[in-house]
Amino acid sequence: MTDQGKVAYIFPGQGAQSVGMGQDIFATDDTARQVFHDADQVLGYSLSDMCFNGPEGDLTKTIHTQPAIVTTSLAYYQATANTLRERPDWQPAFTAGHSLGEYTALAVAGALDFQEAIWLVGERGRLMQEAGEKSGGGMGAVLGLDAISVEEVCQETGMEIANINSDDQIVISGPKDAMARALDMAKARGARKVIPLRVGGAFHSSLMESAVEGMKHAMKKVTLRQPTIPVIGNCTGKPLTKVEDIEAELLQQLCESVQWSQSVRYMAGQGVQTFLEIGPGRVLSGLVRRIESEAQTVNVGEAKALEKLAS
Q: Mind telling me the catalytic residues?
A: 99, 204
Contact 167, 146 (CB under 8 A): yes
Show the CA angle centred on residue 134, arms to residues 119 and 248, nearest 5°. 45
**Alpha helices in 29-140, H assignment, sequence order:** 30-43, 47-53, 56-59, 62-83, 101-108, 114-135
Show the CA angle centred on residue 218, arms to residues 110 and 101, nearest 5°. 45
Rounded CA separation 120/114 (Å): 10
Rounded CA separation 201/134 (Å): 9
Nearest to 252, CA basis, from 137, 70, 99? 99
Cα distances (angstroms) measured from residue 298 to each of 10, 142, 258, 308: 10, 26, 22, 10
Cα distances (angstroms) measured from residue 211 to each of 43, 134, 136, 180, 198: 19, 11, 14, 25, 20
